[in-house]
């Protein structure tokens, strides 16, 4: 029997050909290429958003400092009211009065915390945490990612930064100008045996405490081997309430994202470097309360220049 012509056409047209092996491979390669392109792009977008939040945090700290200045006619000390940090003292000025009033100031700041302040120490304002840093060293010692500038290095320059140890400074003390002096920058929190070169604190193999040995000590720290060097203590950013180096204070002895080192076992004469997970630099809050992204490539002399409040340097970083 002869089939109708249109039936034969449908049978012929309905036949399907499968993908060849070459076509499958090409599709997989294209998908792989697109994935390789998109994943870094998405990661970069997320980090850009995190960096923007870190910048906003510094602006909020700057607002707190400005409000504190308006109220007290001076900036907070780096270590004020029984050892508490400047981050504690500005709490009422960044809408954190309940947390401020929960602190028992009579007992003083300590690491680890005394029992009277366990509750307040276990809290941390969001403004003190950069989301690019996901490391939290201890549940009861909440880390800070922001430190106040205490100068270019005690060993040679003294406490020549924006935050004296126990003395609140007035704008008149900044003879270099507020716009030329760094107030706060970022650092990555550390703890335990962590050996991340940006995060950890190492102990230098030799102690070089004399003023004339400052440059030598900086060279030793800059060339430290993170795989073999002794890990030092205190840790960076361990306790946002405690006003001291590492905890809430840093210095400009070495450039951004360089190692941090105790000077043998001395920490006041140590190097406490700014650091971040942002690409090739750190955010810095200046005394005029603007935030600038400072690249790792900044010359050391310029980095130390913006550390000083009264060194006579004229330094621009933008």
- For residue 5, tell me if it sits in a domain: no
Total count of domains within the chain: 1
Integer angstrom CA distances of residue 61 from 13, 67, 148, 184, 291: 72, 10, 10, 8, 11
Torsion angle, CA of 151/84/96/135, rounded to 10 degrees? 70
Averaged pLDDT score across all residues of the chain: 87
- For residue 12, tell me if it sits in a domain: no
- For residue 64, tell me if it sits in a domain: yes
Instruction: Decide if 104 contacts 78 (C-beta within 8 A).
Output: no
Render pLDDT for 212-268 as a digit per residue (tens, 0 to 9). 999 999 999 999 999 999 998 778 888 899 999 989 999 999 999 999 999 999 999
- For residue 164, tell me if it sits in a domain: yes
What contacts 267, CB < 8 A, 6 or more positions away?
Answer: 232, 234, 245, 246
pLDDT, mean of residues 32-57: 73
- For residue 7, tell me if it sits in a domain: no
What contacts 8, CB < 8 A, 6 or more positions away?
Answer: none
pLDDT higher for 169 or 134?
Answer: 169
How much is the pTM? 0.84
Q: Parallel, antiparallel, or unpaired: how do β-strands 291-295 and 281-286 relate?
A: antiparallel
Q: What does the pLDDT read at residue 50?
A: 75
Q: What does the pLDDT read at residue 11?
A: 45
| pLDDT above 50: residue 1 | no
What is the rounded radius of gyration, in angstroms, for the C-alpha atoms of the chain? 27
- For residue 149, tell me if it sits in a domain: yes
pLDDT higher for 214 or 142?
Answer: 214
How many Å apart are CA 30 and CA 104, to the nearest integer? Answer: 62
Q: Which of 315, 269, 233, 67 is nearest to 152 (CA)?
A: 269
Q: Which of 99, 79, 83 is nearest to 91 (CA)?
A: 99
pLDDT, mean of residues 92-114: 84
Q: Which of 100, 136, 96 is nearest to 117 (CA)?
A: 100
Q: If you search the block for the tokens 């790792």, which residue do you land on? A: 296
- For residue 312, tell me if it sits in a domain: no
Domain that holds residue 51: 20-305
What contacts 25, CB < 8 A, 6 or more positions away?
Answer: none
pLDDT, mean of residues 82-90: 93
- For residue 2, tell me if it sits in a domain: no
Q: With 0-12 CB in 10 A as exposed, 13-18 as middle and 19+ as buried, what is 222?
A: middle
């Amino acid at each position: 029997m002869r089939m109708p012509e249109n039936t034969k056409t449908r049978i012929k047209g309905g036949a399907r050909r499968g993908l060849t092996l070459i076509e499958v491979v090409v599709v997989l390669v294209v998908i792989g290429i697109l994935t390789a392109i998109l994943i870094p792009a998405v990661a970069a977008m997320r980090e850009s958003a995190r960096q923007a939040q870190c910048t906003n945090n510094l602006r909020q700290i700057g607002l707190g400092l400005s409000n504190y200045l308006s109220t007290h006619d001076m900036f907070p000390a780096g270590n004020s009211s029984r050892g508490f940090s400047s981050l504690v003292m500005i709490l009422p000025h960044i809408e954190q009065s309940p947390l401020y009033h929960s602190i028992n100031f009579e007992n003083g700041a300590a690491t680890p915390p005394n029992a009277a302040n366990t509750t307040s120490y276990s809290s941390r304002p969001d403004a003190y945490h950069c989301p690019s840093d996901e490391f939290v060293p201890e549940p009861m010692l909440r880390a800070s990612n922001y430190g106040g500038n205490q100068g270019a290095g005690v060993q040679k320059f003294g406490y020549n930064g924006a935050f004296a140890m126990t003395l609140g400074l007035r704008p008149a003390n900044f003879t270099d100008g507020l716009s030329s002096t760094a107030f706060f920058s970022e650092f990555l929190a550390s703890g335990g045996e962590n050996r991340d070169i940006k995060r950890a604190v190492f102990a230098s193999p030799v102690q070089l405490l004399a003023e004339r040995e400052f440059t030598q000590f900086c060279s030793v720290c800059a060339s430290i081997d993170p795989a073999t060097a002794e890990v030092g203590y205190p840790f960076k950013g361990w306790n946002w309430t405690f006003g001291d180096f590492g905890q809430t204070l840093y210095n400009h002895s070495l450039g951004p994202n360089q190692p941090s080192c105790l000077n043998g076992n001395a920490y006041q004469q140590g190097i406490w470097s700014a650091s971040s997970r942002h690409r090739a630099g750190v955010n810095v809050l200046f005394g005029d309360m603007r935030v600038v992204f400072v690249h790792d490539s900044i010359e050391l002399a310029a980095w130390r220049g913006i550390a000083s409040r009264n060194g006579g340097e004229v330094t621009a970083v933008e």
